[in-house]
Structure 1
Amino acid sequence: MSGGTGPLGGIRVLDFTTTFSGPYCTQLLAEMGADVIKVEAPGGDITRSLGTTRTPGMGSVFVASNRNKSSVELDLKSDEARATIRALIGRADCLVHNMRPPAAVRLGIGPDTALQINPRLVHAAITGYGSDGPYAGRPAYDDCIQAASGLAWLQTSVAQQPSYMSSPVADKVAGLATANAITAALFWRERSGSGQAIEIPMFETLVGFTLMEQWGGRAFVPPEGPTGYARMRSPHRRPYRTSDGLISVVVYHEGHWRRFLEFVGMSELLEQDRYRTVEARNRNIDELYILLEELLEKRSTVDWLKILDELDVPAMPIASVDDLFDDEHLEAVGFFHEVLDSENATYLASRPAARFSASPLESPHRVASLDRLDAGAAAVERWLADE
């Protein structure tokens, strides 16, 4: 693979990441057209064994986050591999890793070494915690970051106790943030001519992510009250029961409430001080959600979806993960694609959601099989042949 037709076509990314955050980041870059060489340790990336497997080393988690890359197996503890890595760094535009910083330094891919080899390099390190704080160097996995960032605590209103989201959201958000930071650093390099080292700590990234709507009174100095956004913390913000199932309904702004309450014959509620303004409705949101819950139980899901669509009030049925594979919208936009591994086994993958009019993204394509990691050597040779 030599990179694609997308906006990052021609950008070379040297990928030393594993688990979730880093591979998700570099796959996003690959989907944007970057030429990504994924360096795997002897025996292959640990995530090759995660999820459902049909072929050894090709777990569903690995396949879902390592498409559109060239994989090569290198032992960074050997002198020969280190010489190869130094040569690749000299020809790369970006290096990404999610090791603890001291480990990266020991393996010869720390920022000082890498930028000395290639001053135009963007060196991106996904860390657990910022390197200048007391948590620096602690091991960090998604569950720990969900806990430390307040995100697990926010789930209390739903689960009655702190709980993790059933998705590695901390890893994924960190991966998104890193891809964003890398593209910004590449843009800065185009203006300045110089590379730089960037650090993306998962903890700080998730704290900012979690607090966006939760600052409440702590947004002011001195504080005006406790943290919180009542609508998000309400135990009544949840899928609602209809007469025959479940439905998601978001009656949000005044137009939504007015049209909905007029339909059910209760428009006079908006004349009451408790519900007249956005601020008042937010303070008393539990009461409105309880009312909504009671009203929705009186009709079927299909009836409500039709009514709410006519009222222009946001509503959707509750889909399971399995339902997504038969979703009419996803089918119409060509969201799912079949991809091959280097042994021509077939997998199902999702295409990038973003659409670019002038630099279209490529559909998902091959992923490297565990027993064909040597195939990535062709990408290494191509890089090294380009003086």
Structure 2
Amino acid sequence: MSTGRETDGGVGPLHGVRVVELASVIMGPYAAQQLGDLGADVIKVEPPTGDLTRHYPPTRSPGMGVITLNLNRNKRSVALDLKAPGGRDALLALLASADVFLTNVRPQALRRLDLAYEDVAAVNSGLVYLNAQGFRSDSPLGGHAAYDDVVQAASGLVWLNEQVSGVPHYVPTVLADKICGLVIVQSVLAALHHRDRTGQGQHVEVPMADTMLAFNLVEHLAAATLNPPEGPIGYPRALSPRRAASRTADGWMCILPYSDRNWRDFFAFVGRPELADDPRFASYAARVHNADELYVLVGEFTTRHTNAQWQEFCDATSIPAAPVLSLTEAATSAYATEGGLLREAEHPTEGGYRLIGQPVRFWATPAGLHRHCPRVGEHTEEVFAEIGHRPPARATNSHQQPPTPVPADRIEAP
């Protein structure tokens, strides 16, 4: 049988770094996938039934749902029941050989398993121990469960949507999980750099609510940055209900004049050059203050030309612009295809599937696919043989017992 190995990405800049992932659903596994794409040896520790995302339908075989094929690529799977005899000791033996421990298990549960930072540091003082959860562990909310939607609400993101649409919508993607996943990667790399200089491991915590609040405040702290505040919190241009794609003669486009010169060219093109000197629109500050009026005008002008005509004009005048694409159109566009952002791959057991490409390019140490998503526990014996530890009996044969699929409406985050 195929080993699931593929080498289209070279060894990657993190070759030689071992990451042990004890995480489920999106945030932690996404972070570990990024590290795996960059060449780290990622060992995914999961229960014998597998990570919950393995059971998201559709599936061609049990435990190999569509999300897991990309989310858990470039990893080796070890199946362990941490509550069973020998489970915790096996994980500690594995962590003794690791550079990074990445988990989104809540701190209280880790303490009950005797897997808090102090317990793990006792066997590997140089380990980067990163745990991520909904709220700061030392806060009154530290023990609360948190999901992407909850964090969107707690960080002000749902409120921002309500200011624009009048309805407290969630962003239609697991934005908090994925942003926090990328912050986890950044934090791991910073801690590894510190360890390389000093030999010192450390405990790193990534609270989702704090991370997303800081993210949302970058532009939205706005006039409230000053003390006393010069105005309410919120960036006016982004909160304008008129801020939307523009209808053209044959579709929709994002047309975004930004500089004073961009606006002069735009107003000249639509036959209203005098608007460039209108006090409401003559400067960046004025345009932000009068964003609603400006967007109404833009919407009136853009219907006069087709998408192709607007794109030609904008390209000639260096005005940022793009047509509104569906997600399918964006993923299958010539741009995405030529860049390898979505391409065909062949899984050794699941057959053909679409591989989400690694967008970052390293000329000396390319990132990419090194191995396909493993079956649950596929590498349990291999990994423990490498470290000279006998795994618990149940773990040894766990990948031979396919997990029972979970109905889509029963799947929850940790």
Q: Deviations over 1:90-137 (max 9, x none)?
A: 110000110110111222322111111100000000011011212111
SS at 1:166's partner residue?
Answer: coil
Q: Deviations over 1:265-308 (max 9, x none)?
A: 22221222222211111101111111110011122222222222
Q: Whole-Å Cα distance in 2 between the matches of residues 126 and 340 of structure 1? A: 33
SS at 1:183's partner residue?
Answer: helix
Q: Deviations over 1:155-175 (max 9, x none)?
A: 124432111011000100110
SS at 2:43's partner residue?
Answer: strand
SS at 2:176's partner residue?
Answer: helix
Aligned to 2:80: 74
* Aligned pairs (5 A) from 1:87-106: 87-106=93-112
Aligned to 2:291: 285
1:384 Cα shift?
4.0
Q: Whole-Å Cα distance in 2 between the matches of residues 306 and 2 of structure 1? A: 41
Find 1:109's aligned residue among 106, 115, 121. 115
Find 1:5's aligned residue among 11, 14, 17. 11
Q: In the comparison of the two structures, how many residue pairs are matched?
A: 383
Aligned to 1:379: 383
Q: Deviations over 1:129-155 (max 9, x none)?
A: 011212111100000000111101111
Find 2:129's aligned residue among 123, 128, 147. 123
Farther-moved stretch of structure 1 (191-200 vs 329-338): 329-338
SS at 2:365's partner residue?
Answer: coil
Give, as a single letter, the amino acid of the residue that structure 1 aligns with 2:45.
V
Aligned to 1:251: 257
Q: Whole-Å Cα distance in 1 between the matches of residues 168 and 183 of structure 2? A: 25
Task: Answer yes or no: is the 8 Å Cα contact 1:86–1:117 preserved in 2.
Answer: yes
Farther-moved stretch of structure 1 (116-125 vs 312-321): 312-321
Q: Deviations over 1:322-358 (max 9, x none)?
A: 1134210111122223344452523211121111122
Q: Are residue 53 (structure 1) and residue 59 (structure 2) matched?
A: yes
Change (3 A) 1:311 1:194: same
Give, as a single letter, the amino acid of the residue that structure 1 aligns with 2:240.
S
Q: Are residue 174 (structure 1) and residue 180 (structure 2) matched?
A: yes
TM-score, with structure 1 as normaliser: 0.94
Give, as a single letter, the amino acid of the residue that structure 1 aligns with 2:343.
H
Q: Are residue 198 (structure 1) and residue 209 (structure 2) matched?
A: no
Find 2:277's aligned residue among 268, 271, 293. 271
Q: Are residue 154 (structure 1) and residue 144 (structure 2) matched?
A: no
Q: Are residue 301 (structure 1) and residue 300 (structure 2) matched?
A: no
1:191 Cα shift?
0.8
Task: Answer yes or no: is the 8 Å Cα contact 2:46–2:79 preserved in 1.
Answer: yes
Task: Answer yes or no: is the 8 Å Cα contact 1:337–1:363 preserved in 2.
Answer: no
SS at 1:348's partner residue?
Answer: strand
* Aligned pairs (5 A) from 1:275-354: 275-343=281-349, 345-354=351-360
Q: Are residue 145 (structure 1) and residue 177 (structure 2) matched?
A: no
Q: Deviations over 1:197-241 (max 9, x none)?
A: 000000000000111100122111222221111111111111111
Q: Whole-Å Cα distance in 2 between the matches of residues 379 and 339 of structure 1? A: 26
> Using CA pairs below 8 Å that are at least 6 residues apart, which structure has the higher relative contact order?
2
SS at 1:71's partner residue?
Answer: strand
Any gaps of 5 or more consecutive residues in structure 1?
Answer: none
SS at 2:378's partner residue?
Answer: helix
Aligned to 1:228: 234
Q: Whole-Å Cα distance in 2 between the matches of residues 237 and 377 of structure 1? A: 55
SS at 1:213's partner residue?
Answer: helix
Task: Answer yes or no: is the 8 Å Cα contact 1:68–1:367 preserved in 2.
Answer: yes
Aligned to 2:375: 369
TM-score, with structure 2 as normaliser: 0.88
Farther-moved stretch of structure 1 (76-85 vs 2-11): 2-11
Q: Deviations over 1:243-264 (max 9, x none)?
A: 2211111122212111111212
* CA RMSD between the two structures: 1.8
Q: Whole-Å Cα distance in 1 between the matches of residues 386 and 245 of structure 2? A: 53
Aligned to 1:62: 68
Q: Whole-Å Cα distance in 2 between the matches of residues 379 and 86 of structure 1? A: 13
1:383 Cα shift?
4.0
Give, as a single letter, the amino acid of the residue that structure 1 aligns with 2:176.
A
Q: Whole-Å Cα distance in 2 between the matches of residues 289 and 383 of structure 1? A: 62
Q: Whole-Å Cα distance in 2 between the matches of residues 15 and 297 of structure 1? A: 51
Q: Whole-Å Cα distance in 2 between the matches of residues 133 and 150 of structure 1? A: 18
Give, as a single letter, the amino acid of the residue that structure 2 aligns with 1:175.
G
Task: Answer yes or no: is the 8 Å Cα contact 2:23–2:29 preserved in 1.
Answer: yes
Task: Answer yes or no: is the 8 Å Cα contact 1:340–1:365 preserved in 2.
Answer: no
Find 1:355's aligned residue among 358, 361, 368. 361
Give, as a single letter, the amino acid of the residue that structure 2 aligns with 1:141.
Y
Q: Are residue 23 (structure 1) and residue 8 (structure 2) matched?
A: no
Change (3 A) 1:88 1:66: same
Farther-moved stretch of structure 1 (292-301 vs 341-350): 341-350
